[in-house]
Amino acid sequence: MARTRSSSSIRWRYLNPAYYLKRPKRLALLFMAFVFVSFFVWDRQTLVREHEEELSKLKEEMDRLQNELGELRHEGGVPVKKMNTTTKRTDVTKMDGLATDPIEDQRREKVKDAMIHAWTSYEKYAWGHDELQPQSKNGVDSFGGLGATLIDSLDTLYIMGLDEQFQRAREWVANSLDFNKNYDASVFETTIRVVGGLLSAYDLSGDNVFLEKAKDIADRLLPAWDTPSGIPYNIINLAHGNAHNPGWTGGDSILADSGTEQLEFIALTQRTGEAKYQQKVENVILELKKNFPADGLLPIYINPHRGTPSHSTITFGAMGDSFYEYLLKVWIQGNRTAEVKHYREMWETSMKGLLSLVRRTAPSSFTYISEKIGNSLIDKMDELACFAPGMIALGSSGYGPGDSTKFLNLAEELAWTCYNFYQSTPTKLAGENYFFHSGQDMTVGTSWNILRPETVESLFYLWRLTGNKTYQDWGWNIFQAFEKNSRVEAGYVGLKDVSTLSIILKSARVNTGVKDNMMQSFFLAETLKYLYLLFSPPSVISLDEWVFNTEAHPLKIVSRGGNSKPNIRLRGFITRPKKINKIEVDDHSQRAVTTALWCNFLVFSLKFGVWLFTSSHVMLAEVVHSVADFANQALLLYGLRSSKRAPDALHPYGYSKERFVWSLISAVGIFCLGSGATIVNGVQNLWTSQPPGNIMYAALVIGGSFIIEGASLAVAVHAVRKGAAAEGMKVRDYVWRGHDPTSVAVMTEDGAAVTGLLIAAGSLVAVNLTGNPIYDPIGSIIVGNLLGVVAIFLIQRNRHALIGRAIDDHDMKRVLEFLKNDPVVDSVYDCKSEVIGPGFFRFKAEIDFNGAILFQDAAKEKDETEMLKVMSFYGEEVVTALGSEVDRLEKEIQEIVPGIRHVDIEAHNPIIPPP
């Protein structure tokens, strides 16, 4: 009895690889279908990515124009030496037109509602007082009646768009804020809340009333630094200027209180042009640096007379925390330049010490930072120390790849511990500190909660730096716990005990925790602001443009001495790289590559089909040629896209040379192999070849391929002409030494493809007319040699591009001529240039500056009184003048040769001759 196959088994055979191995033509068709679908999907994804990149570039350009407009609006009222840091509302929020997550939008609005509730309660019951007592509905002056909550909230109101509330607060600052009070104020608290809050309001709004008030209170604080060592006393009378330390410190100054004024006072110097503020606070760091320990960990007490540490606790919690935070943030505030390098070095030293304090619990392996007294570690961590995960994450990008990953992982582990400070209690709110015991993970120590922001702060930084939405979810859970436990009719209050168990009444869970009677000003300044930003797009108060003080007041980042002043080291490099968000790629080159890619795929499909029917050796050579062309275009396109990546820490000059790498790989790996395989195939069949069949089909395909390849060649030729015109070169010269070989490579390959088709056609015609099949393999050998010639040409072109050619002689002569004729330049030595991308260069020169001209510029238009100041600050004035001249030289060099993107000018040392 004969067996018949079921219909299901017949269908399943198409999934059996053996089926296709026995049928090579179907295997070829399946392969072609797979390639076509893959490239179709890839092309769709590419189009989406390109669209997103275009939107991003348009948005960056819009932001840049808005920044320039804001600067122009405020330019008239800002003295020359002051920094214009104000910005428009659109530059702060930057949410218009952005596609935002509906969940984030909803959460952000809930946080805004919380801010409105807190602020409205303050306005109603405590207006003008330092803090609100929500339970008793009255105000209290915890900081001497300086309106601490009002000033602390200014930037939060502005960022959230609460304009009416902001204007009412502004009027109070202008008309009612008076610092002439016979009150012993904390230098630290007054600086971070009042000076920081006013400066932030100024940076955001541009209203000079905030800057004048900030200057007033800072002048009243300055006498605190008048100590033998420059380490400030921590308490000062605002009316009389009498400074002292609290009695309970034994006469010592507190580390955090003495090392957490740098951001605010440096910013004040930048905005007023008065050096006294910056000098006072930077002297503190220089004094501490003299006795800075090898592990970078300082005790919390410092002797203000000797400037030396006293034997006391080492902690990243209370009284130590923000000192380490400001070491990092002053480096960021200073644009990470050499002038603030010592801050980063001290911070990195402290991070090595922090690693020695890191421990892990059992059984849950929570990571925590212990405290230290002498050589003994204490298994205790304050909630205040939960700022550390955010600080570590923020500073991780300044390390190399290995250390960067290590510290970012540590930050995430610590954040998990801090989040569990909240989740481990019945109220889901954290206590003030925690102890760790073997086998017990963590237990609450001091169990109150006063609405602190540190954990939310770290979640904000980690979300911004990693994009991990888990941190948003954790922040939302913490916010809900505040809403459930701390919200009352007249604001928000803390809890006296977060560990109080909940009870169930009538099927409802009710928290029995006893509430306190204080709405801390930092709840509005920090906690709610960080929560709002946690659910806002990253462009809202961008970390690239702003740095937060320890009270969460954002300060605009500007270079030391001004936006236009470069980083200057008289015996080093003066580097003023032009900011490049993306290395622009010539659209014509990309269009040429994309056109060639799809044309070659179509031609390959046609040739492959004809070869299956004719078995022609020359057609096989053409198939190999098309495969080589197609793969080459794919690699070129990948290289073009990779070269668009923005510069980073590892590649400060960008990735634009990556296109040359992939082009070289294609030339060596594909064309050489393709050339060799084609020649070998032709040689092997010289004496055994048979006349190809179905020559008519081959002729039709060759004709169609000729039209397609010709069209692609026309696009490539157009791109080459555009490139030559852009560089002011003849097409012939551009082909051999143009700075972007991409379009040249496409033109060369397409030209070879058209030529190869003509050779194939000639071979088949010769076979058809003479009946001698030897012309078929001869054509294959000729095509193979043609591939080899193209490969050698492309290898040479990309080799020169990768090695790094100099700019053209005539451009270099123009730059040198300009420098030698400039009055501020005495001599020019050791000029070098290097290609860093298609049409982009780096230029370096060693220059003798004319000191007399520099001093004349520094002293220009100054009367005798001003000249005395010039002589007093001679070094600063000359360096400022030198910076201005370098900035001018750079700008004019880039106008002469627009392709120069980076200018490195080194001041010549006449003692040591240049190499």
What is the rounded average pLDDT for all residues in the chain?
78
914 sits in the region (left: phi over 0; alpha: psi -120 to 50; else beta) called beta
pLDDT for 640 beyond 90: no
pLDDT of 378 reads 94
Q: What number is the average pLDDT over the span 305-322?
A: 93
More reliable by pLDDT, 269 or 869: 269
Give 124's pLDDT tier (boundaries 50, 70, 90).
very high
What does the alpha-carbon distance between residue 51 and residue 625 come to, in Å, rounded to a whole number? 33
Check residue 665 and give its pLDDT.
74
Give tens-digit pLDDT for 519-534: 999 999 999 999 999 9
According to the model, what pLDDT value does residue 813 have? Answer: 73
d(CA 672, CA 664): 11
User: Cα–Cα distance between 824 and 849 in angstroms, integer?
Assistant: 6
Q: CA 134 to CA 122: how far, in whole Å?
A: 8
Is the model's pLDDT at 693 over the cut of 50? Answer: yes
Instruction: Show the CA angle centred on residue 112, arms to residues 110 and 116, nearest 5°.
Output: 115
pLDDT at residue 342 greater than cutoff 50? yes
Give me the percent of the chain exceeding a pLDDT of 90.
45
Query: Which of 341, 902, 348, 906 minimizes the C-alpha distance to 647?
Result: 902
Q: Which two tokens stand for residue 913?
A: 């001759």
Least confident of 29-43, 140-154, 165-179, 819-833: 29-43
Domains of the chain: 584-803 (1.20.1510.10), 809-907 (3.30.70.1350)
DSSP 8-state class, residue 225: G
Positions at the binding site for Ca(2+): 550
On the question of pLDDT at 714 being above 60, the answer is yes
> Which pLDDT score is estimated for 907?
60
- How many residues belong to the chain? 915
Residues annotated as part of the active site: 189, 321, 432, 454
* pLDDT number for residue 579: 37
Range from 208-222, 548-562, 817-831 that averages highest in pLDDT? 208-222
Q: What is the pLDDT of residue 818?
A: 75
pLDDT score for 108: 96
Q: What are phi and psi of 749, to 5 degrees?
A: -65, -45
- State yes or no: pLDDT of 578 exceeds 90: no
Question: 580 pLDDT band (50/70/90 cuts)?
Answer: very low
**Residue 841 host element (H or E):** strand 840-849
Which one-letter DSSP state was computed for residue 702?
H
In this structure, how many other beta carbons lie within 10 angstroms of the beta carbon of residue 45?
A: 10
DSSP conformation class of 565 = P
What tokens does 485 get? 């436990």
DSSP code, position 13: G
Q: In whole angstroms, give the CA distance from residue 399 to residue 408.
A: 10
Place of tokens 């032709």: 682
Q: Is the pLDDT of residue 296 over 80?
A: yes
- Better pLDDT: 660 or 177: 177
Average pLDDT score over residue span 851-879: 53
For the chain, percent of residues with pLDDT exceeding 70: 63
**186 closest CA partner among 116, 245, 100, 265:** 245
pLDDT grade, residue 422 (50/70/90)? very high
pLDDT computed for residue 182 by the predictor: 95
pTM (two decimals): 0.57
> What is the chain's alpha carbon radius of gyration, rounded to the nearest angstrom?
35
Lowest pLDDT segment from 716-720, 785-789, 861-865: 861-865
More confident residue, 873 or 780: 780
State phi, psi for 545 to the nearest 5 degrees. Answer: -120, -15
Torsion sign over Cα 612, 615, 617, 618: negative
Predicted confidence (pLDDT) at residue 861 exceeds the cutoff of 60: no
Mean pLDDT confidence for 870-874:
49
Residue 508 has pLDDT above 60, yes or no: no
Residue 90 banded pLDDT, cuts 50, 70, 90: very low
pLDDT at 765: 79
Question: What is the spatial distance between Cα 449 and Cα 482, in angstroms, rounded to a whole number?
Answer: 10
Q: Which pair of structure tokens corresponds to residue 914?
A: 């240049």
Question: Both tokens of residue 32?
Answer: 């072609």
- Residue 762 scores a pLDDT above 50: yes
- The predicted pLDDT at position 509 comes to 41
In whole angstroms, give the CA distance from residue 270 to residue 283.
Answer: 17
Token output for 554: 């954002």
| Longest CA pairwise span in the chain (Å) | 122
Residues 275-291, mean pLDDT to the nearest whole number: 94
Does residue 431 have a pLDDT over 50?
A: yes
Q: Which of 246-250, 397-401, 882-886 has the highest mean pLDDT?
A: 246-250
Dihedral of CA 815/816/820/824: which sign?
positive
Distance, CA of 81 to CA of 734 (rounded, Å): 47
Confidence band (pLDDT; 50, 70, 90) for 627? confident
Q: What is the 3-state secondary structure (H, E, C) of 261-273?
A: CHHHHHHHHHHHC
Backbone angles phi, psi at 14, to 5 degrees: -70, -15
* pLDDT surpassing 60 at residue 544: yes
Is residue 388's pLDDT more than 60? Answer: yes
How many angstroms separate the CA atoms of 231 and 255, rounded? Answer: 9
Neighbours of 424 (CB within 10 A): 20
